Amino acid sequence: MTDIRFPNESKNYRAAREELLAAEMELRAKVAEVAAQRRSLPMGGEVKEDYVFRAMENGVEADVTLSELFEAGKDTLFLYSLMYGRNQKNPCPACTSLMDYMNGGAQHPADRINFAVCAAAPITEFKELADSRGWGKMRLLSSSENNYNGDYYAENGEGDQFPMANIFVKEGDRIRHFWGSEMLHAGLDGHPRHMDQMWPLWNILDLTPEGRGEDWGPKLRY
């Protein structure tokens, strides 16, 4: 299937690797197929309101509406809800790990689309967390004073937080929902893995003999 042969590999290794390569190629094709299906989704419902978020701009708290998150020439918004709620001492370690990765590369998607992260914690606390993690490349928002998290399944009525990603599209003066990471709520056995494609941590560990591990998870500190 390929001409690659690594030093001192056995025939058994090469045969197994070729079989795995075929499976990897099938997976690649399936990922592309699902991505095309996702792109062909019709637009979802129009947002109920122009949600008002809190942001920190030049050290000063300010209101930012959902519509104001759309820059000129960019009609798509990626908005991730971090599990960091009101009166929550620490953020979710897994979400924090994902944000560490996202911050490092945030300038790349932001060249094509609008890209932001929100949390239900007050903006001052969210900014303190961001500063402690070095998150200086992402637009940070607090949803502490609006209904966004509840409307888009990042929070339930008891205040429990969920790690949801949502995509919105602006059409003229209207903003419509396009996609949400609903696999989180699909009742799957085990971890829903709804953010895995954009999370380098798991993609790296999946390449190793140890894999993800049964009991291991990212931590706030090591």
Domain containing residue 17: 1-40
* Inside any domain, residue 214: no
Q: Are residues 28 and 66 in the same domain?
A: no
pLDDT in tens, 64-102: 999 999 999 999 999 999 999 998 999 999 999 999 999
Q: Are residues 22 and 130 in the same domain?
A: no
* Inside any domain, residue 170: yes
Q: Are residues 147 and 122 in the same domain?
A: yes
Q: Are residues 69 and 102 in the same domain?
A: yes
pLDDT in tens, 28-72: 999 999 999 999 999 999 999 999 999 998 889 999 999 999 999
- For 13, the token pair is 């290794």
* Inside any domain, residue 195: no
* Inside any domain, residue 29: yes
Q: Which CATH number does the domain housing residue 81 bear?
A: 3.40.30.10
How many structural domains comprise the chain? 2
pLDDT in tens, 140-187: 999 999 999 999 999 999 999 999 999 999 999 999 999 999 988 888
Q: Are residues 79 and 56 in the same domain?
A: yes
